[in-house]
Structure 1
């Protein structure tokens, strides 16, 4: 090939044969020396004290905050779950006509046994305050974690005589937190194994107020009991009673106990839970010591990621035990 420039023919350079062009190569990298592990520096006494204090304070904060949240917020979920299980159980018993009507019932083997604490015995509802709850047998603090409880030395709601039903005012859903808003003439409906009973509210009274007259023969008296509410959410040591009466009542089988243990009375605690509380606290102390030891070997973030679920589980169990040591109506 050639090109004519100003009358001259200039040959264009052609490809060079027999020669190869190589790209310049980089010089090989020298390998970096292996990173030597940092020597472990022992903690000073001041640092050990800081680790100890921060671990203890963090544990105390987790337990206290979780317990408070469980009493006022998460306890509602627990109570709702219990009610969700109790309602279909009691409805099945009503359909099968095996719901308790007295202090004893017949089990699946045909044997007569006492109604166990925690078993559903009635459904109570008050449309004016949005109340609808399954009532369980027993009024001890542990029984009332699942919902309102029937005091065992009284007849069932709707039977001839006076029936006492306890419920919490604030903690674990506070199912009876609004019964103070009931007024004379409001209606309370109760369903038991013998049928449905319509009660009319007589009034609301407090500790120290005069008692209403005893119900006449053939009538049913229902007394809903809880703790008085304060504006800031907790409860003092005063009980609230809502008296209601029905003109007709079902017969009450005999065999009720003449009295119940002290933990089943209004505003009482269950001191028998103290050994279990000591065991739960020992578990929390053991976890705290484990956290302190682990933080000296691993990072604080890793330790708390592993330890927090364990602490929460222990806090949940501890709170349930603490509720048995608090008045049963709060």
Structure 2
């Protein structure tokens, strides 16, 4: 009897497991709340996301332009300027002052000297002019000052970070360091006498038979300048007489002064921005018409090139010593 009851109980348990428990589990599953269906993103949301992606590409292009591309542009320009200067020195046609041999003003961008600073392992072709456009290519000579090696105070200006960052280590020049500047007048040798920033007293005015050179760049954190740094050097070689000046400080524009910005080509910047907007809109249309892969393949190089071109125009508005 006991065995019979035990057998029936086991049989009932098996039946419960086989029949009732699965039905209970299915009922519990059916009572669970179904997950809400995900709605596809709206066209406005897609356009906004794509717009943010395009803006990111443009901003990334600006960063690449100022950090990487500008260095390449500077190196290419220096190669060209050095060849022009070497030819001018060999032919005797290099400028000897503020004017050329026929009496006209030396055009901005003309190579006028070769600066060699062994302590900084620096050799740079110097060109006429100190606006942002000239300082993209190299160290600039302030047009209202005599050439290095002539009597009086000459001024050279260079960038601290972008476009080669030629004068980025200028603060490392110590008093007593010597360097040379080669012009059509010959080789002039200078000796560093000290450094100064805004508010520091300047050196005394040189006499008629003395020469001085001031190297100027941006001071402060990289790409965040807070003023100008000036390194003064005295001429230790024999000074060369200079012709009567044609340009004076009042002859210069604000763009040629330390930390000045060049606003002479705002039309070019406007055209670049318009092209950038048009290409971005075309990329949005292509995204829906062709697809994502085809859009990036076609428009990424175009947007990159326009970003670099626009970045060059924007760089003109930044401080010339940056």
**When the two structures are superposed, what TM-score results if normalisation uses the length of structure 1?**
0.82
Query: Distance between the aligned counterparts of 1:281 and 1:150, measured in 2?
Result: 32
> Is residue 81 of structure 2 the alignment partner of residue 81 of structure 1?
no
Shift of 1:160: 0.8
Does the 8 A contact of 1:135 with 1:149 survive in 2? yes
Q: Is residue 168 of structure 1 aligned with residue 159 of structure 2? A: yes
For 1:17, the equivalent position in structure 2 comes to none
Structure 1 partner of 2:119: 128
Match of 2:18 in 1: none
Alpha-carbon separation, structure 2, partners of 1:255 and 1:223: 18
**Separation in 2, partners of 1:199, 1:136:** 19
Which is worse superposed, 214-223 or 76-85? 214-223
2:264 is paired with a residue whose SS is helix
For 2:83 and 2:220, locate their aligned partners in 1 and report how far apart those are by CA, in whole Å: 31
Q: How does 1:230-249 map to 2 (within 5 A)?
A: 230=221, 233-247=222-236, 248-249=238-239
Answer yes or no: is the 8 Å Cα contact 1:67–1:315 preserved in 2: yes
Q: Name the structure 1 match of 2:279.
A: 287
Match of 1:299 among 272, 283, 291: 291
Task: Report if aligned partners of 1:170, 1:235 keep a CA contact under 8 Å in 2.
Answer: no
Find the partner of 1:177 among 164, 168, 184.
168
Give the structure 2 partner of residue 186 of structure 1: 177
Partner of 2:141: 150
Structure 2 unmatched runs, 5+: 1-38
Q: In 1, are the aligned partners of 2:220 and 2:227 still within 8 Å (CA)?
A: no
Shift of the alpha carbon at 1:157?
A: 1.2
Give the Cα separation in 1 of the matches to 2:231 and 2:73.
26
1:48 is the counterpart of 2:38: no
What is the Cα deviation at residue 45 of structure 1? 9.0
CA distance in 2, matches of 1:178, 1:168: 10
The size of the alignment, in residue pairs, is 281
Tell me which residue corresponds to 1:102: 97
Report the RMSD for the aligned CA atoms in angstroms: 1.5
Q: Provide the rounded CA distance (Å) in 2 between the counterparts of 1:175 and 1:229.
A: 15
| Cα distance between partner residues in 2 of 1:132 and 1:242 | 17
- The question of whether the paired residues in 2 share the 8 Å contact of 1:150 and 1:165 is answered with yes
CA contact 2:218–2:228 (8 Å) conserved in 1? yes
Unaligned residue ranges in structure 1 (runs of 5+): 1-43
CA contact (8 A) 1:117 1:136 kept: yes
SS in 1 for 2:176: coil
**Normalising by the residue count of structure 2, what TM-score does the alignment of the two structures yield?**
0.84
Query: Does 2:194 match 1:203?
Result: yes
Larger radius of gyration: 1
Pick one of 241, 251, 255 that aligns with 1:263: 255
Q: Could you tell me whether the CA contact under 8 Å between 2:220 and 2:226 is conserved in 1?
A: no
1:214 maps onto 2:209 in alignment: no
Match of 2:243 in 1: 253
Secondary structure in 2 matching 1:70? helix
